[in-house]
Chain A
Amino acid sequence: MERIELTTGELLQAVKNGESISIIDGQWERRWQIIAWIRSIFGYIFGWNDTVEAAHNFAVYLLENPFEQNEKSKYIDTYTAIVHAFKLSLADYAITEEKRIRASQLQSPRTPLNMISSELAQATSPRNVTAELDQVLSMYTYLNLSQKTISQTKPLQQNINWLQEELRTWQEEIVAPKEDFFANKMAQSTAAKIKRSCQYPQFIDALRENRTLLELFFYTVFSNMPSDCTDAVDLFIQAPYLQKELTRCNLDIRIKAIANRGLRFIQTSDDPIQKDVQLLINGKYQSIAHSQNNVTIAHNVKRTVKEVFDTFEEHNRKIADLEYVQKGIMLLDGTLSTMDLSSPEWYKDLPIVERLTRKELEERYETNFQTGHALFVVRASRP
């Protein structure tokens, strides 16, 4: 056992390497490899983890023993680095749902780890990546600018070239290795989105400085959103919190897959300037900007926007009763338990999941469809 204060450098290295360590009362040690191995096997079943424990104990120790003014400058950088390393390994740890809940509990603002993290952040410059991103995005006041003014901004050619080049390298690294049947469709028609992004010059400046923000932008706007939807750019820059919600509940990939222009970002009034984010729900565009607002899902069925998002998140756990189809979000349980299947032509009453023309079908499946009546396709997926 060694005192934390005396061996901060070694501790930092151990946490960074992901070694199994135990921290008790300001002292720490490496576990024997064989014990770490046995603990990891049982921890895998019962959901406990050495890193979680060590991070918690480390934070509690720092909270209970606030350092004095002269010590502060001596240790603060290493401590901040250790907390950051702990947070990174916690993010790796949160693979399954149960662990994610535990890890998020550890990362909620009131837990020791976060309290010490914010305390350290006050003393030094902020290092939390997501907080940094929020800060970057909230800097701009594009929400007070009318959509017309933004559309009339002339994009700089050098910005367009730079963004195109970055997007191309990103796609080659991230997207191309995946052997997806429809992957090549993503490469099409990014020009409109690039042009739209360059109409926010300050945002492009931030992208040039911040690599993490750039990758997040590509991932959410160019990979997860429909290729012709320039409103996705507006949404990401002007209402990042809502974009986060859509990504959390996997609605963005649904909007992408069903090409029905389900999402739009519009200006509702000129004086004062008010904007709205609308989603196709039960055949009508309805506002999703405020989480407590009600939306009409079916005749006489209303839910709040937050409930709708939460239901879509449930799809990770079961087949939930809401789904995104051609008419937008609809009340649709998969097994059609409310539908009458007794008539021989029952399939004519099915809700339209995705409406495609014959030509689109032929293009999508690379098949010849001259003689047939209906098409039957076998699909398979793997990670």
Chain B
Amino acid sequence: MRQIFKLATPYLLFAPRALNPNLSARDTHSWIEIAIPLEDGTFNLLSIGKFTKVFPITTWEQLQFIYRTYQGILTIVDPNKFHHSRSRIAVPFPPLAKDQFIQLMGALRQDLLRAQKEDFVFQVQGDNCARWVQKMVNILFPNLGIELFSMSHDDIIIPFFIMPFIWIQRNIPIESVKNAFRMSLGLFLGALEGQEFTNETGEKVFTRLYDDVNWNKGTLELPAKLFEILETVKQRVSSPFLNSPL
């Protein structure tokens, strides 16, 4: 125990890591756009995003929102399409072949049906809007193996007064202690609370953040991460998205 303390103390006191302020969890979102060909040669541009039914507004709602599980919905007109005062980026993938398109529409229909039956999970740190986008990318390009949003818990900025606890968490040098700390913080703020959802095979499953695989590994999907990835790619390649994704 004393050894742990000896190791931890300098980190806790003197070694805060420099964080990228752009990786803040507040007001960041990710969605997909699909241009569907119409009969007259033009295209219908859908922008599909994953949301909760009611957005958290007050501080108390937002605080609960971080660890709890909610019913999600899909919308075919994502409001973020309109908010030009925010910073936005687009990563177009290579044009889809006919069978790829049908595959995508099949997956989309399944998710829309689940959203209609209120069987669609939304968790901010777990099954969030970015993970859904990643899922769609994986369905279309299974061999790509690209993680667009994945990042460590240690790099995220949460603009609340639980930030000091997150700061302590990320500066604990021993992995097991760090995980135990993260778990206990999560349990305190509602990671055990969940709801029953029907999965693909028709079984009812009690879903909560505590059981989430990525959360237990200490990673999450943050939409703002895509900005950082694109910047590094831009430095490497002069024209990042001509004919090839990223």
B-contacting residues of A (Cβ < 8 Å)? 41, 44-45, 47, 96-98, 178-183, 186, 223, 250, 253-254, 256-257, 315-319, 323, 325, 332, 334-337, 341, 346-347, 350, 352-358, 361, 365-383
Q: Mark B69-111, 1 if CB is under 8 A from A, else 0.
A: 0000111110111111111111111111110110011000100
* Chain B interface, >50% SS class: mixed
Distance in angstroms between the alpha carbons of A368 and B95 in the assembled complex:
8
Measured CA separation A341–B37 after assembly (Å):
18
Within 8 A of A (CB), among B22-36: 22, 24, 26-36
B90 close to A378 (CB less than 8 A) = yes
The answer on a CB contact under 8 Å between A371 and B95 is yes
**Chain B residue at minimal CB-CB distance from A254:** B82
Assess whether A376 is in contact with B96, with CB atoms less than 8 Å apart.
yes
Contacts of A355 in B (CB 8 A): 38, 42-45
Cβ contacts under 8 Å, A374 to chain B: 34-37, 43, 95-96, 101, 104
- A179 to B87, Cβ gap below 8 A? yes
CA–CA, A181 and B46, complex, Å: 17
* Chain B residues whose C-beta falls within 8 Å of the C-beta of A354 in the assembled complex: 44-45
Q: How many chain B residues touch the partner (CB < 8 A)?
A: 79
What is the chain B residue whose CB lies nearest that of A370?
A: B95
20 contacts between A and B (CB under 8 A): A96-B57, A178-B85, A179-B87, A179-B89, A182-B84, A353-B47, A353-B76, A355-B38, A365-B241, A366-B242, A367-B243, A369-B95, A376-B33, A377-B93, A378-B137, A378-B148, A380-B30, A380-B223, A381-B86, A383-B24
Residue among A315, A334, A341 having the largest count of chain B Cβ atoms under 10 Å: A334
Question: How distant is the Cα of A81 from the Cα of B75 in the complex, in angstroms?
Answer: 48
Contact of B77 (CB < 8 Å), options: A250, A353, A356: A353
Point out the residue from A253, A254, A373, A377 that lies within 8 Å of B101, measured CB to CB. A373
Known contacts A257-B84, A374-B36, A381-B29; is-contact A98 B92 (Cβ 8 Å): no
- Chain A nearest CB, measured from B101 CB (Å): 4
Nearest chain A CB to B131 CB, angstrom units: 13
**Shortest Cβ distance from A332 into B: residue:** B77
Q: Is the CB of B112 within 8 A of A180?
A: no
Q: Find the B residue at minimum CB distance from A182.
A: B84
Min distance, Cβ A331 to any Cβ of chain B, angstroms: 12
| Chain A residues near B90 (CB-CB < 8 A) | 181, 365, 377-379
Question: Is B226 positioned at the interface, with any CB of A under 8 Å from its CB?
Answer: yes
Among B53, B58, B80, the residue within 8 A (CB) of A318 is B53
Contact A377 B32 (CB under 8 A): yes
Q: Which residues from chain A contact B243 at a C-beta distance below 8 Å? A: 367-368
Assess the B77–A372 pair: CB atoms within 8 A. no
Tell me which residues across on chain A come within 8 A of B115, comparing CB atoms.
335
Establish whether residues B137 and A335, one from each chain, have CB atoms under 8 Å apart when the complex forms: no
Q: How long is the Cα–Cα vector from A381 to B90 in the complex, in angstroms?
A: 9
Q: A253-B82, A341-B112, A377-B92 are in contact. Are A382 and B27 (CB under 8 A)?
A: yes
Q: Mark B56-67, 1 if CB is under 8 A from A, else 0.
A: 011110000000
Cβ-defined contact, A376 with B93, below 8 A: yes
Instruction: Select which of B82, B89, B104 is within 8 A of A379 by beta carbon.
Output: B89
Cβ distance A95 to chain B, nearest Cβ, rounded Å: 10
Q: Are B54 and A356 in contact (CB under 8 A)?
A: no
What is the bound-complex CA distance between A183 and B100, given in angstroms? 31
- For residue B55, CB closer than 8 A to chain A, the reply is yes
User: Is A335 within 8 A of B112, CB to CB?
Assistant: yes
Q: Contacting A181 at CB < 8 Å: which of B34, B85, B89? A: B89
Contacting residue for A361 out of B43, B46, B51, B85, CB 8 A = B43
- Are A380 and B88 in touch, CB under 8 angstroms? yes
Closest Cβ of chain B to A327, distance in Å, is 12
Q: Is the CB of B43 within 8 A of A356?
A: yes
- Given known A377-B32, A382-B87, contact A318–B43 (CB-CB < 8 A): no
Is B133 an interface residue when CB atoms closer than 8 A count as contact?
Answer: yes
